[in-house]
Amino acid sequence: MAGSLSPTCSGSTGSARRRSSSGGASTGRLDFGRQAVAGARGGERQAQADVRGPGARERGHQGCSEPKAIEPSAKREAIAVLVGDHGLPVQRACRVVRLSRAAYYEPPMPASRRDAAVIAALTDVVTRYPRWGFWKLYDRLRAEGRPWNHKRVHRVYGALRLNLPRRTTRRVPRRVRQPLTAPPVLNQTWALDFMSETLYDGRRVRLLTMLDEGNREGLEIGVGVSLPSRRVVRLLDDLVTLHGCPSAIRVDNGPEFTAQPFVDWCAEHRVAIHYIQPGKPDQNAYIERFNRSYRTELLNAHLFESLTELRELTDDWLRVYNRERPHDSLGRVPPLTFLPRPTSAAQSPLELSA
């Protein structure tokens, strides 16, 4: 039995008995020795308790296995437990949880009231531009003089569930492509393309979109039941009178662009025609991206009852696109802010680039 005791326990027991027999030992030490002997006789050594005890600043507080409280609401709950169950003063409990007493006593403000101004402004701009993503909406708010940073606006944006639905597409291997570059020079290259739309009564409508590749400005969108080559030439004459003549025009191989009136007009005005390869719309990517914005932001969002309504809404959308809508490839500024168009149409591309 004596051999089963460790040297420390046996020494402590013997010392406690000698002190007890001499009359100089305290009752507490004698009890400690008896507990050690009883534990040894039972075949198990009792775990030694922490003899240091709680400090002056930690009296009555014991750690917990729960994760640390991060948000102020969770910290308030932790302080309530420390004060109510463990008897800590509020000041000490706030210091333990690392929350100021002012924040503890201040009632939490509902998020709807705290972010009421952000919610109202964001709802208003989303109502006006329902197909814009977060960064375009945020840039619009900043342009209107709103002082909030993007993190706060994005938090409210996500809470209101204003995210646009993502298009699920099949992933394909990365291809090596040739980038389509355009110098920031006005009237260097115009891009033209055709689209189609259906009115509410079932009539098919053709749309001719025209873009300046220098600043991605939408020059004009022609609307009509029929847009033959002669009508395309008349629209080009109006644009040349307003903005000047381009150096080149990038088009596909549609019949309107290969017809003789269009070819003769380009030869008369000394405008080069850049035809893309058949089946390669990415070679005219600037106008294709413009068509996508026009489709998603206007055409898919309305049912048009007449050509007049379609023209009016198209003119309004084109004004917003050129003057207000941030453009990602232009540093998130509108086209006419990136490269304003001069009032005089007689300036040449070389003069504009100087």
* Regions in the chain scoring below 50 on pLDDT: 1-30, 32-33, 36-42, 44-47, 49, 56, 69, 172-178, 344-354
Encoded amino acid at 304, one letter = F
Same domain, 207 and 333: yes
Identify the pLDDT of residue 3.
44
Q: What is the pLDDT of residue 62?
A: 56
Instruction: Note whether residue 51 is domain-resident.
Output: no
DSSP string for 196-256: EEE-TTS-EEEEEEEEETTTTEEEEEEEES---HHHHHHHHHHHHHHH---SEEEE-S-HH
Please indicate, yes or no, whether residues 219 and 288 belong to a single structural domain of this protein: yes
Query: Which tokens sit at 48?
Result: 């030694």
Question: What is the predicted pLDDT for the residue at 348?
Answer: 40
Is the same domain home to 215 and 91? no
* 48 falls within a domain: no
pLDDT, tens only, 156-174: 999 999 988 877 665 644 4
The pLDDT of residue 106:
83
Residue 115's DSSP bridge partners are: none
Q: What is the pLDDT of residues 77-124, one digit of tens each?
A: 899 999 999 999 999 999 998 889 888 888 777 878 889 999 999 999
| Cα distance between residue 251 and residue 281, in whole Å | 10
Tell me whether residue 46 is in a domain.
no
Residues 21 and 135 in one domain: no
What pLDDT shows up at residue 67? Answer: 60
Query: With left for phi above 0 and alpha for psi between -120 and 50, is residue 202 left, alpha or beta?
Result: left
- Shared domain for 90 and 197, answered yes or no, is no
pLDDT at 211: 96
Decide if 162 contacts 125 (C-beta within 8 A). no
User: What does the longest C-alpha to C-alpha distance in the chain come to?
Assistant: 128
Residues 238 and 336 in one domain: yes
| Structural domain containing residue 128 | 111-159
Q: In this structure, are 223 and 343 located in the same domain? A: yes
In a domain, 321, yes or no: yes
Q: Is 294 exposed, middle or buried (0-12, 13-18, 19+ CB in 10 A)?
A: buried
Q: How far is CA 239 from CA 51, 187, 273, 283, in A?
A: 92, 11, 17, 24
